[in-house]
Amino acid sequence: MKRALVILVTVFLLPIPPVSAANLVPNIGPSQLRLPIVSSGEISKYKRIVALADGSAEIVGALGYKKLLVGRDIASTMPELADIPIDTNAHQVATERVLAQHPDLILIDSNTSPASALTVLKNSGIKIVTIPSSFSISAIFAKESAVANILGVPKAAKLLAKDLTSQRFAPSKTKVAFLYLRGTASIYLVGGKGSGTDSILNSIGVTDVGAQLLKTPFTALSAEALVKMNPDVLLLMTKGLDSVGGISGLLTLPGIAQTPAGMRKRIVTVDDSLLLSFGPRTSSMLPLLRADIDKVARQ
């Protein structure tokens, strides 16, 4: 199920023509977030790093070792890494590009593909390490620690963890439903328990009403389910809203217009590469998301 989640998320990173109506709702994008960068004074074991695991380039940069990055995956979209070459084509590893960068370390995860490319890289003698994926707030530290331990900089991971654990949010009665939409592919889902957004919404003090009522991470969107949830606010990915034609298109989907969120157009969007990234940028995304939810909830 977790692998399916990653596949769905990466689908959203593919280009979709923008729809101006989507700009009418609060949206959190990469340019609004800072990448927390710590400095532990530790020296990395490796000098030329290609970070292909989802979010690993972001972690290496946040640990204070951006200068060691020579390649990254396409999902690492933060502005701070814009000058680092992308070593994937549509999420497939570009073997020749990686080899030309002469890395001494390659970070991958269970979703790095294709297998044939990984075989070539392994046979080249380059050190390749698989790091764990993260699908919840609680798993972020484990993933950051794994990268830090590989580099031999454990103090940096502890410093970075403080940026997330220091945040506190007052409880709210606002009920939020997460919709995972890809109109061009006829994908219309509601997030439930284990979707990833349940962890995010819980951490900022609001209720993920889908997680309360649905036992699986994702369930097909239906009018019956939405009316039962009765959400105050709808949370979507930016390209998800674009893919259904913006607000006007969203309101034509089953049950949307019958909810308090739909009737009052209480919608919040987050960039596709950010919402479920579960990495260093998550800490700066959380207060912005809570502020946007509180703002539209008053509409």
Asked if the structure places residue 124 within a domain, the reply is: yes
| pLDDT, position 293 | 98
Q: Going edge to edge, which strands form the sheet with 105-108?
A: 69-72, 49-51, 105-108, 127-130
| pLDDT, position 19 | 40
Asked which of 152, 180, 210 is the last residue of a domain, the reply is: 152
**Closest among 2, 291, 269 to 139, alpha carbons compared:** 2
Give DSSP secondary structure letters for the chain. Answer: -HHHHHHHHHHTTS-----GGGGGS-EE-GGG---------PPPS-SSEEE-STTHHHHHHHTT-GGGEEEE-TT---GGGTTSPB-EETTEE-HHHHHHT--SEEEE-TT-B-HHHHHHHHHTT-EEEE-----SGGGHHHHHHHHHHHHT-HHHHHHHHHHHHT--------EEEEEEEEGGGTEEEEE-TTSSHHHHHHHTT-EEHHHHH-SSSEEE--HHHHHHH--SEEEEEHHHHHHTTHHHHHTTSTTGGGSHHHHTT-EEEE-HHHHT--STTHHHHHHHHHHHHHHHHT-
Asked which of 123, 152, 181 is the last residue of a domain, the reply is: 152
Per-residue pLDDT of the chain (299 residues), as tens digits, is 444 455 455 444 444 444 434 447 999 998 898 889 999 999 999 999 999 999 999 999 999 999 999 999 887 878 889 999 999 987 799 999 999 999 999 999 999 999 999 999 999 999 999 999 899 999 999 999 999 999 999 999 999 998 787 889 999 999 999 999 999 999 999 999 999 999 999 999 999 999 999 999 999 999 999 999 999 999 999 999 999 999 999 999 999 999 999 999 999 999 998 999 999 999 999 999 999 999 999 99
Asked if the structure places residue 119 within a domain, the reply is: yes
Domain limits at 129? 43-152
Do 184 and 215 sit in the same domain of this protein? yes
Do 131 and 211 sit in the same domain of this protein? no
| pLDDT, position 140 | 94
Do 59 and 205 sit in the same domain of this protein? no
Write the CATH number for 142. Answer: 3.40.50.1980
Asked if the structure places residue 136 within a domain, the reply is: yes
Asked if the structure places residue 283 within a domain, the reply is: yes
Asked if the structure places residue 172 within a domain, the reply is: yes
Do 54 and 115 sit in the same domain of this protein? yes
Domain count, the chain: 2
Do 76 and 142 sit in the same domain of this protein? yes
| pLDDT, position 16 | 42
What does pTM read for this prediction?
0.86
